[in-house]
Structure 1
Amino acid sequence: MRNTTSLLRNARALLAIAALAVTGAAMAQNYSTELIEKGRYLATASDCIACHTATKDKPMAGGHAISSPVGEIVATNITPSKTHGIGNYTEQQFSDALRKGVRADGARLYPAMPYTAFARLTNEDVHALYAYFMEGVKPVDESPKASTSLPFPMNVRASMIGWNLLFADDKPFEADAAQSAQWNRGAYLAQGPGHCMTCHTPRGALMQELGSESLSGAQIGAWWAPDITNSKTHGIGSWSVDELTTYLRTGHLPGKAQAAGPMAEAITHSFSRMTESDLRAISTYILSVPSHKPEEPAGRNRFAHGQATDATASFRGTSFAEGMKQSGVALGSQIFTANCASCHGASGQGTQDGYYPALFGKSITGEANPSNLIAAILSGVDRETPQGGHVFMPPFGGQDNAMVPLNNDEVAALSNFLLTSYGNPGVSVTAAQVQTIREGGEKSSLILLARVGMAVAAVILLLLIVLIARKRRNRV
């Protein structure tokens, strides 16, 4: 009898466990595979992984520090962890964070998370993204080791309420009936998930995007996001849709550009994984965006500077030690020959297969803003290709994996040699500029402006209190 009772209890326990397993399986698959995959594609188009991943083995777990003019902003854990991520978010809370910059606890996000762009997303796409993040991402039950700690008053997240009232537009994307379906698809992807404007549009004193100068170039930390309007002299109007599509897919356009810095990340994690039709749509839209700058009839664009030049004759017969005592372009030519020529060629011609690009006729040496040239020398280039290849240039900024650490004077000398020999000779680099890029780019005056504004407001408030108090005394 006891054995029978024991068997019944065990059977009931097994049935309960089986029921829980079935329930758990049902709970784990609330959304269709098709919807989750759609969300995965949209997350890829949005390049979420680039900002929210510090180590490859913990995707979307946060910890990556994003450089901004007001300080470093550390991306949070956006895995479906219920203890450290967004696993407890309702779909509405997820939508509010994504499109309005409001966390589930009511705290405000900084626009380093481009909610101003994601506001363009349709409800259907937000739903797909929610399905993906809840069921297509592996939960990581830990918080990043560091967290965002900006100086006062930027550390007061409530200040973003006023910023949003002034500058945030949370209207979803509206198709332009006068344009083609391809153009509208490209506009949606570029303005929304791809958030091209977030990086390539200059910002005002309060860090707001200057819509009238859309895509005309902006400084992003140490790197310069160049003008990508359809201007033939200032932007990429000399490119065809095929060429821009190739660049977005591969990060390389022979004879014109090679992706580095944040754009290399975007190519690796986002654009290279998108469909050909979507890349062509983005290209079609981007190449239709007009420039606010007047065209220069006789002007050369940044892809038309420089030529093959061999400078070795200028110091042949001089010892390396003696050559390194020189300064300016002469020193730069020595540094180039010692550190760069083995890959890029003695004449800067690159390799035939383009793996090591030529240094002339390129945006990096022809651009009027030398930030990318300096940043590439300091930080190198390290990105993966869609075919599983690896594009690599070692850094020379003193990192642990740096080939030969170069000081600010040496980087400036090398930059000036490259600009004079292979690029825009009207641009020059100083050691002070190198130090600024080494430190992550120029800092914003917004913090100082905010503090001064708060001090002025406090003085005005104090004066009002004194005036009111005096009026009350006079009445008495």
Structure 2
Amino acid sequence: MPYTSYSILTDDDVHALYTYFRFGVTPVDVRAPDTKLPFPMNLRASLKVWNLLFLNKDAYQADPHQSAEWNRGRYLAQGAAHCSVCHTPRGFMMQEEAGLELSGGQVGTWYAPNITSDTASGIGSWTREELVEYLRTGRLRGKAQAAGDMGEAVEHSFQYLSAADVEAIATYVKGVPPIHDSRDSAPRFTAGKMSSELATLRGTDGIRSDNDAHPTGAELFQGNCASCHSAQGQGSKDGYYPSLFHNSATGSVNANNLIATILYGVDRTTSKGQAYMPGFGGKPTDFTALSDEEIALAGNYVLVHYGRADIPITAQDVAEVRRGGPTSPLLALSRIGIAAGVVIVLLILAFVIVRKRRRAH
């Protein structure tokens, strides 16, 4: 629940949301699942402490030096659309890092990339119209496709916004100050080129993928990926199956989105139609279940031939994404802090008791 973003909403907008949920949503007589949070996250007092440190309770204040469209876009992006909740990195207490707005952040299994105006690390090379198209459809041919949480945001939210509101968000996001990652020398949408090792596999004992104990990355790619993305990774002519080069998932400094796409696939429906790719992580609907080692082999083949060869994938990386993504140290730190606090309190009590006894004698 991104309440840290919703806190800037006007009273009128909060009332409109309440009215919609109260009277516009069909009631469902199903008990909500119990919240199961580990200690001490299940203590409301801990949330109160976090809110005191990081929650902004101030209502949105328009910038008089900017246009009405820019201010509308900022209000929506920082509030209802809560872009920074995903696209801003988090500190050790899971707070949004000040000064790094929209520079990229990990969201469970998926990575929300840098969307600042930096031309190499962000989306500074996109036009405003391209950003509008992406928000509307979840797809920008030759550059990016929305999956995971962003795919859901497009499918269930952005495609229904008015043209004026989507354009306002694009205007604001395009004006966010650039934040550069020194590892980026070119936009992630320009990495890679057409390539194929199919010729080296012809005449051998078939293109093995899931029936060989030790398949190569080329065999895994040709057996599981090439039928849709084509033998040279160029995708289908109509763009339904995207090119694997000039693709944000293969050109990023963070390979988690490529891993998550292979594991979980893509299923996004907008007014432009459905975008679908089966996963290979072993769900009941998956055609083939690949191991962590096999996904690492296939992923590295894709990166070497179509993306950033300097970003290797290990089986451990795949296992981490399969488990739900990188974990925060906050839970361990909070437990250590509570334990340390208890020890300190006990030591103080012991000191007071000993001192009183000495005085009594």
Give TM-score scaled by structure 2 length. 0.96
Structure 1 residues 176 and 397, CA gap change in structure 2 (3 angstroms): same
The 1-side partners of 2:207 and 2:113 are apart by: 38
Q: Which has the higher contact order (CA 8 A, sep 6+)?
A: 2
Matches for 1:167-316 after TM superposition, within 5 Å: 167-293=54-180, 299-316=185-202
Matches for 1:54-93 after TM superposition, within 5 Å: none
Structure 1 residues 295 and 231, CA gap change in structure 2 (3 angstroms): farther
Partner of 2:271, secondary structure, is coil
Structure 1 residues 294 and 368, CA gap change in structure 2 (3 angstroms): closer
Matches for 1:48-197 after TM superposition, within 5 Å: 113-144=1-32, 146-197=33-84
Question: Once the 2 structures are TM-superposed, how far is the Cα of residue 355 of structure 1 from its aligned partner?
Answer: 0.6
User: What whole-Å deviation, never above 9, does each CA across 1:158-196 have from its counterpart, x for those lacking one?
Assistant: 210100001111111110000000100000000000000
Structure 1 alignment gaps of length 5 or more: 1-112
User: 8 Å contact 2:201–2:207 — kept in the other structure?
Assistant: no
User: 8 Å contact 1:213–1:291 — kept in the other structure?
Assistant: no
The 2-side partners of 1:286 and 1:322 are apart by: 45
Question: Once the 2 structures are TM-superposed, how far is the Cα of residue 351 of structure 1 from its aligned partner?
Answer: 1.3
Partner of 1:212, secondary structure, is coil
User: 8 Å contact 1:251–1:258 — kept in the other structure?
Assistant: yes
Match of 2:351 in 1: 467
Matches for 1:368-447 after TM superposition, within 5 Å: 368-387=253-272, 389-447=273-331
Partner of 1:364, secondary structure, is helix
Partner of 1:265, secondary structure, is helix
Please identify, of 135-144 and 252-261, the stretch whose mean Cα deviation from structure 2 is larger.
135-144
User: 8 Å contact 2:268–2:275 — kept in the other structure?
Assistant: yes
Question: Once the 2 structures are TM-superposed, how far is the Cα of residue 326 of structure 1 from its aligned partner?
Answer: 4.7
Partner of 1:434, secondary structure, is helix
Question: Once the 2 structures are TM-superposed, how far is the Cα of residue 321 of structure 1 from its aligned partner?
Answer: 7.0
The residue identity in structure 1 corresponding to 2:196 is D
The 2-side partners of 1:325 and 1:406 are apart by: 12
Structure 2 alignment gaps of length 5 or more: none
The 1-side partners of 2:8 and 2:161 are apart by: 19
User: 8 Å contact 1:311–1:333 — kept in the other structure?
Assistant: yes
Partner of 1:466, secondary structure, is helix
User: 8 Å contact 1:232–1:295 — kept in the other structure?
Assistant: no
User: 8 Å contact 2:122–2:179 — kept in the other structure?
Assistant: no
Quick one: which of 204, 217, 224 aligns to 1:318?
A: 204
The residue identity in structure 1 corresponding to 2:256 is S
The 2-side partners of 1:462 and 1:293 are apart by: 48
The 2-side partners of 1:147 and 1:390 are apart by: 33
Question: Once the 2 structures are TM-superposed, how far is the Cα of residue 352 of structure 1 from its aligned partner?
Answer: 1.6
The 1-side partners of 2:141 and 2:246 are apart by: 10
Structure 1 residues 188 and 320, CA gap change in structure 2 (3 angstroms): same
Structure 2 residue 304 is the aligned partner of structure 1 residue 457 = no
User: 8 Å contact 1:222–1:371 — kept in the other structure?
Assistant: yes
Give me the CA root mean square deviation.
1.6
User: 8 Å contact 2:137–2:271 — kept in the other structure?
Assistant: yes
User: 8 Å contact 1:257–1:362 — kept in the other structure?
Assistant: yes
Structure exhibiting the larger radius of gyration computed from Cα positions: 1
Structure 1 residues 129 and 447, CA gap change in structure 2 (3 angstroms): same
Give TM-score scaled by structure 1 length. 0.73
User: What whole-Å deviation, never above 9, does each CA across 1:372-396 have from its counterpart, x for those lacking one?
Assistant: 0000001000010224x21110111
Count of aligned pairs between the two proteins? 358
The residue identity in structure 2 corresponding to 1:114 is P
Partner of 1:382, secondary structure, is strand
